[in-house]
Amino acid sequence: MPSKPLRSLLLASLGALPTLVACHAPTPSTPQTPSSDAQAAVEPRSAPGAGQQLLARMAGDWQVEKTIHRRSGGEPVRSHGTCRQEMVHDGRFLRSEFVFDGDASRAASTGTGVIGFDPATGVFTSFWYDSRSTRVSVRQSEGAFDGEAIELVSRTIGGEAAARRSHTTTRFDGDDRLVHRQWSVAADGSEQLFMELVLTRTGS
């Protein structure tokens, strides 16, 4: 058995052991927060602007009357359909889904449109694709945005020599009526009205 002085020394050493362990225990590391947006260094973020305010007014459900004007003249061809439009990606883009009725002479068709606005350049860019074709239609604005109407002209992808040229306008006619017109543009710059879509709101 250890002597009394040695026993006291051992007890004192054991009593100090928890303090020594606590002093030398590794401090729990604080989780490292990743960069809030590393992608922004290459692709800076951009917030919605004045163009998105107009696009947001177009969101909702609509009845659609479609009129095609024949290039050779004669009676226009009319059809009807529906459209649902919604703002996507945190209010930056308007996506439109169209369904047009068919009849005895033509099948029903569908189409999808996406349009956005870049506040830094003041430019609208739209994409359209549908069940009638394998082409993707691209259009952009050229003039300054007046806050009321969206005017777009066709853009050619891949240098297609025979690309169809067109000019479109979209504007409200009252709060619940939206009018979209498309003109075909000839080589000499002259325009002929080709299509008109009149959208009437059906839901809030």
Instruction: Quick: pLDDT tens for 54-67.
Output: 999 999 999 999 99
Based on DSSP, count helices (H) and strands (E) in the chain, helices before strands: 2, 10
Residue-wise pLDDT tens digits, 75-123: 999 999 999 999 999 999 999 999 999 776 778 899 999 999 999 999 9
- The percentage of the chain sitting over the pLDDT mark of 90, rounded to a whole number, equals 62
DSSP classification of residue 112: E
Per-residue b/e over 5-20, b at no fewer than 16 CB within 10 Å? eeeeeeeeeeeeeeee
Residue range 22-43: mean pLDDT, rounded? 61
Q: Tokens 């009593």 belong to which residue?
A: 15
Q: What are phi and psi of 107, to 5 degrees?
A: -80, 160
Residue ranges and CATH numbers for the domains of the chain are 50-201 (2.40.128.20)
Residue-wise pLDDT tens digits, 137-166: 999 999 999 999 999 999 988 765 556 789
- Tokens, residue 134: 């394998």
Asked if 155 and 29 count as a contact pair (C-beta separation under 8 A), the reply is no
